[in-house]
Amino acid sequence: MARTRKVTVSTDAHGHTAGWAATELAANLAPPPDRNAAAFFDVDNTMMQGASIYWFARGLAARKYFTTGDLARFAWQQLRFRLLTTEHAGDMSHAKQAALAFVEGWRVEDMERLSEEIFDELMAPRIWAGTRALAQLHLDAGQRVWLVSAAPVEIGRVIATRLGLTGAIGTVAEVQDGAYTGRLVGDLMHGPAKADAVRQLAAVEQLDLARCVAYSDSSNDLPMLSVVGRAVAINPDNALRQTARMRGWEVRDFRTGLKAARIAVPSTVAAGLLAGAVTAGLAVRRRRQNR
């Protein structure tokens, strides 16, 4: 069943733009008893194994939206960037320009339908049970729980809905007449942008950030982790683990053995790389259809 796209876009006094979407479940519930506290969870490698945008790409490949060769090249680039542990300015610029180019012309309802199908098939089995349990503790305490991801906010909202969470903060794609233009509204939801978005949401929802908690696996999320009263490192990369030790933050690692070495690329680089692969694949698909 198609939904009406309800994404709230906010711009603060410094011109920073953020977008978030509440789940239908949250919209129909009474206000939580603890209105001033919330938890913010990164998604990739924190709430689930790997990058959500990668699993979305896997689902598209299975549906012949692009080739398995495109997917293999994307996976190799993921590994290469992870081993180099770099997110240089040039990479980020490319990611911002291309992050949502692959959905240009898509209907919003189709994006949401595919996101739901692919979550059930590929993402649900990769949710970290330990992280999910932490989120549930906040819900049981009457607090709101938000996902914060560089992935499109529609994908984040699907994940939040499936997990029974409050909503998602994510990258916002421009929409005209029910279809994506391929352009972003504001910035890619990454690094400092996550902290800005959390501040904006806190202002709107009247949250006391000193009573809020943030969870992440990546040192790229230090701005978000630093803006709340309590930070927790989940499956942390080396840089975040070191920072957590220095600052006395709690560390939770749900990985074992080889799993700890299979950390996916940061979602921002993944978005840029995926866009190139998917865009090429869709172009090939269109050419075949036009023959």
Active site residues: 42, 44
Q: What is the 3-state secondary structure (H, E, C) of 77-107?
A: HHHHHHHHCCCCHHHHHHHHHHCCHHHCCCE
Close Cβ partners of 39 (under 8 Å, ≥ 6 residues apart): 134, 135, 138, 143, 144, 145, 146, 212, 213, 214, 215
CB 20 within 8 A of CB 167: yes
Backbone angles phi, psi at 4, to 5 degrees: -85, 130
* Cβ count within 10 A of residue 5: 16
Q: Which two tokens stand for residue 90?
A: 């040039």
- Measured distance CA(72)–CA(184) in Å, rounded: 26
Tokens standing for 75? Answer: 């996976």
